[in-house]
């Protein structure tokens, strides 16, 4: 099949590359010329483990190409995926201007005697498939269907998630489009995972419900952790005890410094807004947003309390800037909130991340000292804050760290270390939902 993917960001680039990997011909379209030029030159524009191999193979074998020419790509394709941004608008609802803007252009392009399937891959509010349909229909001379196909990949493991999805959700009321989507996804679900066909509105809602549920689950654990600190329980033990109940499950129960990323924060907000528009007060989501907003300041608050509210002139190292490990993405990263608070209080910040430093430099510039190696951040610092659980931080040389640091003080927002070990090593060690070690 011939496929166009409009929007070549995290979702578009991964989806396009993975569709090419199953033998389809894919043209990725983006209106960012510099991005397209880089990709044409064989250079990836995002850090995503495993993507380089698949990307190089498929570009070399000419199944995957890049362009800024939307018209040419649409003309050459049977199926057109929209993997465009849906950022929060001023009132918190999803901004559909990218999706509807491109849909309108596509309407002008589809000619008589042509049939195209337009697929919403972006995360879009309930009712968007109908809006896209209306916008395309305004100018379209040919035939088309609009399908809702939300994407569930996680950054950092996106290629694997795409090639081996837990499930594929397709919202469509057209038999013709259903057949096309079935053929397209067949290779990804051969290992037995299902494709669920449903109506467009349910597919759109499924995406928001999944993300909001996961965000709620994490938030619940963050509140349990906060309470554990007060009552002297250990949230890691609690997590293991809870998670081994088959009804609860082990995954997505890790407490920390709040959820971040380009999806959970905006999608919870957008679902809350959808509820409001339908006169439904989704109180649970309101609490989730409030609790998560506060949790992102947790590490900075702990540090401030340790230094009796006076961080002025204190040297603080930060390990981890990306919103999660194995990505360079810093959208809504807890590290941004932590560093902002530290700088506001007059601290000097020395930061290290294996992949996200370039992106973070765009926010903080020379307000923060970015270092080449993790240990370079530690020279003479009063404390270290750990914000992202990169594997690289899991088993460091604690003795060497102790020699480098002015004081052996660690604030760990991801519970990477065993509290008993830290006691033996002589660190002050303050983590999330566990007793602080002096
Ligand atoms: N990032 C994720 O992990 C993830 C996972 C599932 C779903 N989603 C959803 O997928 C959508 C895309 O997310 P993303 O993270 O890939 O975004 P992104 O910002 O990484 O990529 C979007 C791309 O669209 C391009 N673009 C913008 N306007 C355009 C236009 N008019 N024509 C062509 N290209 C244009 C941008 O230049 C950019 O490259 C969002 O709705 C998001 O919520 C994201
Ligand atoms: O137990 C956990 C798991 C995650 N997180 C945090 O939650 C956020 C999101 O993590 P994750 O879900 O792994 O990353 P994303 O790439 O944002 O993926 C989410 O958002 C995507 C975009 O919609 C969806 O496609 C995915 O299914 C959904 O997991 C990050 O800040 C994590 O640190 C925790 O604090 N504790």
What is the rounded average pLDDT of the residues 79-104? 96
User: For position 190, what pLDDT does the model report?
Assistant: 76
Say whether pLDDT at 192 is over 90: no
Which positions ≥6 away from 397 have C-beta within 8 Å?
none
Mean pLDDT, the chain, integer: 97
**Counting Cβ atoms within 10 Å, is residue 346 exposed (0-12), middle (13-18) or buried (19+)?**
exposed
* CB of residue 145 inside a 6 A radius of ligand 1: no
The number of CA neighbours under 13 Å toward the Cβ of 105 is 16
Task: Give the ligand 2 atom nearest the CA of 152.
Answer: 25
**pLDDT value, residue 188:** 85
Residue ranges of the binding site for substrate? 152-155, 207, 252-256, 260, 324
Is 140 a residue of the active site? no
Q: How far apart are CA 51 and CA 29, in angstroms?
A: 18
Nearest CA to ligand 2 atom 27: 152
Average pLDDT, integer, range 59-82: 98
Please report the domains of the chain, with CATH numbers, ordered by start residue.
2-198 (3.40.50.720), 240-431 (3.40.50.720)
- The long-range contacts involving 269-274, CB below 8 angstroms and separated by at least 24 positions, are 269/88, 269/92, 270/86, 270/88, 270/92, 270/93, 270/94, 270/123, 270/125, 270/208, 271/208, 271/209, 271/211, 271/212, 272/92, 273/91, 273/92, 273/93, 273/94, 274/93, 274/125, 274/126, 274/208
Q: Is 98 helix (H, G, I), strand (E, B) or coil?
A: helix
pLDDT at 105 over 80: yes
- Kindly report the backbone phi and psi dihedral angles of residue 167, in degrees, each rounded to the nearest multiple of 5, phi listed first: -165, 160
Position 160 pLDDT exceeds 80: yes
Pocket flag, ligand 1, residue 155 (CB < 6 Å)? yes
Q: Which of 66-80, 178-192, 346-360 has the lowest mean pLDDT?
A: 178-192
Mean pLDDT of 187-213: 93
Q: Which tokens sit at 376?
A: 């370079």
User: Is the Cβ atom of 88 under 6 angstroms away from ligand 1?
Assistant: no
Return d(Cα 208, Cα 196) in angstroms, integer.
Answer: 16
Three-class secondary structure of residue 64 per DSSP: strand
- Selected catalytic residue, list 28, 140, 228, 263: 263
Tens of pLDDT, residues 392-421? 999 999 999 999 999 999 999 999 999 999
pLDDT at 193: 85
pLDDT, tens digit, for every residue of 271-285?
999 999 999 999 999
| CB 161 less than 6 A from any atom of ligand 1 | no
Q: Check whether 363 has a pLDDT greater than 80.
A: yes
């Amino acid at each position: 099949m011939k496929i166009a993917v409009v929007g070549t960001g995290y979702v578009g680039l991964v989806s396009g590359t993975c569709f090419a990997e199953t033998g389809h011909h894919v043209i990725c379209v983006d209106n960012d010329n510099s991005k397209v030029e880089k990709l044409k030159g064989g250079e990836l524009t995002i850090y995503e483990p495993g993507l380089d191999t698949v990307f190089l193979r498929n570009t070399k074998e000419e199944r995957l190409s890049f362009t800024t020419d939307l018209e040419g790509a649409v003309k050459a394709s049977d199926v057109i995926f929209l993997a465009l941004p849906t950022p929060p608008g001023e009132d918190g609802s999803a901004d559909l201007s990218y999706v509807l803007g491109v849909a309108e252009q596509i309407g002008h392009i589809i000619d008589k005697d042509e049939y195209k399937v337009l697929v919403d891959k972006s995360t879009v509010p309930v009712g968007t498939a109908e809006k896209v349909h209306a916008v395309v229909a305004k100018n379209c001379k040919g035939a088309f269907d609009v399908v809702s196909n939300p994407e569930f990949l996680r950054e950092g493991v996106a290629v694997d998630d795409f090639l081996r999805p837990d499930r594929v959700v397709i919202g469509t009321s057209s038999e013709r489009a259903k057949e096309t989507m079935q053929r397209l996804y067949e290779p990804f679900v051969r290992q037995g995972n299902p494709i669920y066909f449903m109506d467009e509105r349910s597919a759109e809602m499924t995406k928001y419900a999944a993300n909001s549920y996961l965000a709620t689950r994490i938030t619940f654990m963050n509140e349990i952790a906060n309470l554990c600190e007060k009552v002297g329980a250990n949230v890691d033990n609690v997590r293991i005890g809870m998670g081994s109940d088959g009804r609860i499950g082990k995954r997505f129960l890790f407490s920390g410094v709040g959820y971040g990323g380009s999806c959970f924060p905006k999608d919870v907000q957008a679902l809350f807004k959808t509820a409001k528009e339908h006169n439904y007060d989704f109180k649970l989501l309101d609490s989730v947003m409030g609790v998560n907003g506060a949790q992102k300041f947790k590490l900075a608050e702990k540090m401030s309390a340790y230094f009796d509210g006076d961080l002025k002139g204190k040297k603080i190292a930060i390990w981890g800037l990306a919103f999660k490990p194995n990505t360079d993405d810093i959208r809504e990263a807890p590290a941004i909130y932590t560093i902002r608070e530290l700088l506001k209080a007059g601290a000097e910040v020395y930061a290290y991340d294996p992949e996200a430093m370039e992106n973070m430099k765009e926010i903080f510039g020379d307000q923060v000292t970015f270092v080449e190696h993790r240990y370079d951040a530690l020279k003479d610092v009063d404390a270290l804050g750990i914000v992202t659980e990169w594997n690289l931080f899991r088993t460091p040389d604690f003795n060497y760290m102790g020699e480098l640091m002015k004081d052996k003080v660690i604030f760990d927002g991801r519970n990477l270390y065993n509290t008993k070990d830290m006691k033996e090593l002589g660190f002050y060690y303050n983590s999330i939902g566990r007793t602080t070690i002096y």
